[in-house]
A and B are shown apart, each in its own frame.
Chain A
Amino acid sequence: MNDILNQLLDSAQVWQARQQASQQPGRMPTGFPQLDIQLAGGWPQAGLIEVLAGKSGIGELQLLLPLLRQCMTQGPVLWINPPFIPYAPALNHQSISLRQLAVVHTSSREDTLWTLEHSLRCSAVSLVVAWTNSLRSAQLRRVQLAAETRQCPCVLLRAPSAAGSSSPATLRLLLDSDGERLQVNILKRRGSWPVSDLQLPLTNRLPHPDNSNVISGPWASRIQ
Chain B
Amino acid sequence: MLWIYLHLPFLLLEHYGQSLPEPRPMATLQPGSQRILQANPDALALGVRAGQSLATATTLAPALLLINPMAGDHQRALEQQARRIYQLGDFISLYPPDGLLLQSDNLLRLYGGLQNLWQKLQQTLASQGITATLATGTTPGMARLLARAGLGACTDDTAALARQLADLPVMQADFPQQVTERLVRMGLRKLADLQALPGKELAQRLGPATLHGLQKLQGSRPDPQPRWHPPARFQHAMDLPQEAEQSAMLLFPLQRGYQLLEEELRWRQQAVEQIQLRLYFREHPTECLSLRTTTPEFRADTFMTLTRLRLERYALPAPAIRLAIRVNHFLPRDTATQATDLFQNTPPQQQAWQQLIARLQARLGENALHQLQLVADHRPEKAWQTTPPAAPAPTQPLSAPDLPRPLWLLPEPQTLTATPAAWLAGPERIQAGWWDGTQIQRDYYIARMTSGQVGWIFRDTQGDWYLHGWFA
| Residues of A bordering B, CB below 8 Å | 55-62, 75-76, 82-94, 98-99, 101-107, 111, 114-115, 118-119, 122-125, 176-179, 205-209, 211, 213-216, 219-224
Q: How far is the CA of A104 from the CA of B448 in the complex (A)?
A: 30
Interface SS majority for chain B: mixed
Neighbour of A122 across the interface among B355, B420, B425, CB < 8 A? B355
Determine which residue in B371, B419, B445 has the highest number of CB atoms from chain A within 10 A of its CB, and name it. Answer: B371
Cross-chain pairs A/B with CB under 8 angstroms, 21 sampled:
A55-B452, A58-B452, A86-B408, A86-B409, A89-B405, A92-B398, A98-B371, A98-B372, A98-B373, A102-B369, A102-B370, A118-B359, A122-B355, A124-B352, A179-B422, A205-B471, A211-B422, A214-B423, A214-B425, A219-B463, A222-B463
* A contact residues around B406 at 8 Å (CB): 57, 87, 90
B446 at the interface (CB under 8 A from A): yes
* A contact residues around B426 at 8 Å (CB): 214-215
Closest chain-B Cβ to A150's Cβ sits at a distance in Å of 11
* B contact residues around A176 at 8 Å (CB): 452
Residue of A with least CB distance to B450: A179
Neighbour of B371 across the interface among A56, A103, A114, A118, CB < 8 A? A103
Closest chain-B Cβ to A108's Cβ sits at a distance in Å of 10
> Which of the candidate stretches B67-75, B224-232, B453-461 sits at the interface with the other chain?
B453-461
B360 at the interface (CB under 8 A from A): yes
Q: How far is the CA of A75 from the CA of B348 in the complex (A)?
A: 12
Judging by beta carbons under 8 Å apart, are A223 and B400 in contact?
Answer: no
Q: Scoring B residues 44 to 85 as 1 if CB is less than 8 Å from chain A, else 0, what string do you get?
A: 000000000000000000000000000000000000000000
* B contact residues around A103 at 8 Å (CB): 369-372, 386
Q: How far is the CA of A90 from the CA of B357 in the complex (A)?
A: 25
Judging by beta carbons under 8 Å apart, are B469 and A84 in contact?
Answer: yes
Judging by beta carbons under 8 Å apart, are B454 and A206 in contact?
Answer: yes
Judging by beta carbons under 8 Å apart, are A87 and B423 in contact?
Answer: no
Neighbour of A118 across the interface among B360, B423, B424, B470, CB < 8 A? B360
Q: How far is the CA of A111 from the CA of B380 in the complex (A)?
A: 31
Judging by beta carbons under 8 Å apart, are A177 and B405 in contact?
Answer: no
Q: How far is the CA of A175 from the CA of B228 in the complex (A)?
A: 72
Residue of B with least CB distance to A114: B363
Judging by beta carbons under 8 Å apart, are A214 and B405 in contact?
Answer: no
List residues of B (420-472) whose CB comes within 8 Å of A's CBs.
Answer: 420-427, 445-446, 448-449, 451-455, 459, 463, 465, 469-472
Residue of B with least CB distance to A111: B364
Given contacts A57-B455, A223-B465, contact A105 B368 (CB under 8 A): yes
Instruction: Given A83-B408, A87-B407, output 6 extra A-B contacts at Cβ < 8 Å.
Output: A57-B408, A87-B380, A88-B373, A103-B370, A124-B349, A221-B419
B353 at the interface (CB under 8 A from A): yes
Judging by beta carbons under 8 Å apart, are A124 and B350 in contact?
Answer: yes
Judging by beta carbons under 8 Å apart, are B425 and A206 in contact?
Answer: yes
Q: How far is the CA of A101 from the CA of B400 in the complex (A)?
A: 18
Neighbour of A220 across the interface among B364, B374, B408, B423, CB < 8 A? B423
Closest chain-A Cβ to B118's Cβ sits at a distance in Å of 48
